[in-house]
């Protein structure tokens, strides 16, 4: 399967995208009221056009393709993890470090109790635990971005001297 996707994967993805596009455009053109779409006021009528359901095919195809892609990524990722455990050790260690860092950041986060943010938290029913989780996720994302940019700079400098 890997060899097939390596050789024919891009062609398969292109054909799938082209067929999906043809189905969506055909659905829109087949179900659209020409007078409605040709109207100079069509932009103002966007909610009315959307309520006709002509965009549902495109949304459904997008959701199906997203679920298939997500499923394939998970399945092939787990398959590669199982079949090449030694090669996946760096990934496993990195993932474990990220999980540990998240829980450390969550345990050290402070719950916001003053300011405009408290009104927003009350409006969206965000409790103390979720607030700390959001704070940890934001700090973790910023930390990973700093590490990524720093490693790019460091490795480019190293490559200049090779």
Give the pLDDT confidence of 46-76 residue by residue, as tens digits: 777 667 676 777 788 889 989 998 998 899 8
Dihedral of alpha carbons 103, 105, 111, 112, sign: negative
Position 33 confidence tier, pLDDT thresholds 50, 70, 90: low
Is residue 103 predicted with pLDDT exceeding 90? yes
Return mean pLDDT, the chain.
86
CB 82 within 8 A of CB 75: no
- Confidence band of 2 (pLDDT split at 50, 70, 90): low
Tally the C-alpha atoms within 13 A of residue 134's C-alpha that lie toward its C-beta. Answer: 10
Most confident of 1-15, 92-106, 112-126: 92-106
Highest mean pLDDT among 29-33, 82-86, 150-154: 150-154
Distance CA 109, CA 103 (A): 10
**Domain boundaries in the chain?**
1-83, 85-162
Q: Is the whole model's pTM more than 0.85, yes or no?
A: no
User: Helix, strand or coil for residue 41?
Assistant: coil
Q: Sorting pLDDT into bands at 50, 70 and 90, what band is 34?
A: low
Place of tokens 């932009």: 43
pLDDT value at residue 146? 97
Closest CA to 112 of 123, 97, 127: 127
Q: Provide the 3-class DSSP secondary structure of residue 44.
A: coil
Nearest alpha carbon to residue 130 among 154, 114, 109: 109
Q: Which residue has the tokens 């024919």?
A: 8
Average pLDDT of the segment spanning 133-147: 95
- Which helix H or strand E contains 133, and what residues bound it? helix 128-160
Centre a 10 Å sphere on the Cβ of residue 106 and count the other Cβ atoms it contains: 17
């Amino acid at each position: 399967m890997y060899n097939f996707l390596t050789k024919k994967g891009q062609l398969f993805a292109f054909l799938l995208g082209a067929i999906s596009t043809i189905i969506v455009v055909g659905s829109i053109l087949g179900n659209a009221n020409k007078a409605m779409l040709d109207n100079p006021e069509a932009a103002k009528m966007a909610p009315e056009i959307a309520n006709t359901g002509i965009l549902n095919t495109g949304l459904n195809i997008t959701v199906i393709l997203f679920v298939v892609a997500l499923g394939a990524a998970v399945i092939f990722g787990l398959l590669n993890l199982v079949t090449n455990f030694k090669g996946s050790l760096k990934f496993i260690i990195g993932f474990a470090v990220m999980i540990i860092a998240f829980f450390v950041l969550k345990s050290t986060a402070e719950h916001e109790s003053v300011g405009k943010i408290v009104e927003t938290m009350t409006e969206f029913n965000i409790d103390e635990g979720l607030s700390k989780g959001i704070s940890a996720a934001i700090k973790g994302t910023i930390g990973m971005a700093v590490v990524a940019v720093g490693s790019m700079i460091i490795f480019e400098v190293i490559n200049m001297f090779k």
